Chain A
């Protein structure tokens, strides 16, 4: 075991950690925004709109992330759209995450009792106010644990972007391994880095679930 040799490349490791965190934060924000909009629009009575949204959600949830990454990066550049790896990765993860988050939000909204809608309508609230003051706050409370659970998965799934050449933690780990020829030590350190990023979030989920169980 020789961790010192691996740790000599700490700059490389840090740049990988930074890119993993940067990508994670960006796609958590963008996919949450997209997922929220789609999830709320799911409550619309417009059947055509609903069919389009359902098609999007089912398509993205049914496709392997790796294939989406290949399509978004190599496929688009083959067609002549050279959008750069950052843009490609962000778009793919946003569409992918948005589909799952839309489902989480939709089921959260559907679990709000009908009486909440009726009571809001009976005091003359507009739809937008009903969402803003009555439905969304209650949905958030219900959806937060599954949402954070999904974020955890999404952070770990950013490692798949290494395959198309995105320089995040796993890819930098591979580079270090190639130089040092210490795969075990390298990946232990990479695993510890993921743990440091994910553990606080995972702790937060179990805290929320405990609090939910007490209520």
Chain B
């Protein structure tokens, strides 16, 4: 279980998160939506301490995250992260990208590594790309490899930071399909996204953020048809107009 308790974060004079609390249960798929600059990504990045909150606490499975490097490292193994810009290692092929973590951190044998890679590439549908380099892959393929790389650490939780925002429209579907499959397998996930249809179909709970606060959270079928807050309504309207 992920517990976020009263966290604050500011960049310079801008308060990005103001007293945000949120619990995420095992097996839940939580989508975070909201206008840009509302603090969605920062909230997500506070969960694995890529951003360190100035005030407040984050607990993973009951363990408080401190600033101790070794403890953060230990906790991050359990929190797979997928970035908007993929962040694959450009000088390594797909195989090395996926196996760097398990090899260095878990010291797996070559046999275990081979099985792991085959298994993960099957999962993301890129078995034939085992020895391709990132610049030989499309954006959608790169993001699927980034998901495989995160899954290679066998995390209990997956964090997605706008995983499809950098993709051409025709490539979004293949990435969302992989995430959907993870949801079916029961993975606990927190997804910052602008894909409203995806959030509606896949999430168990949708969090709406604005101005550094959570303004509303609800089951998607209720939130998208009957939002309580005016700000949620106006945000959803702008999204619909854009499409």
Contacts and interface: CB of A to CB of B under 8 A. Distances in A.
Contacts of B144: none
A133 B146 CA distance: 17
5 contacts: A115-B85, A123-B76, A123-B153, A124-B77, A133-B89
Most chain B beta-carbon contacts within 10 A, residue among A123, A127, A138? A123
Contacts of A124: 73-74, 76-77, 101, 105, 153
Interface of B: 48, 50, 69, 73-74, 76-77, 79-81, 83, 85, 87-91, 100-101, 104-105, 146, 149-150, 152-153
B104 A125 contact: yes
Interface string A115-137: 11011111111110100011001
Interface of A: 113, 115-116, 118-127, 129, 133-134, 137-138, 141
B215 to A, nearest CB: 28
B150 A122 contact: yes
Given A115-B85, A116-B89, A138-B91, A123 B79 contact: no
Given A133-B100, A133-B104, A122 B50 contact: yes
Contacts of B50: 118, 121-122
Nearest to B45: A118
A51 B56 CA distance: 33
B144 to A, nearest CB: 15
Contact of A115 (B77, B87, B149, B152): B87
B73 A119 contact: no
A124 B234 CA distance: 40
B43 to A, nearest CB: 16
B89 A119 contact: yes
Closest 8 CB pairs of A and B: A123-B101, A115-B87, A119-B87, A122-B81, A124-B77, A124-B105, A129-B104, A137-B91
A126 B100 CA distance: 12
Nearest to B96: A133
B83 A119 contact: yes
Contacts of A118: 50, 81, 83, 87
Given A115-B83, A129-B104, A133-B104, A123 B150 contact: yes
Contacts of A116: 87, 89
A119 B74 CA distance: 15
A127 B48 CA distance: 16
B35 to A, nearest CB: 23
A92 B133 CA distance: 43
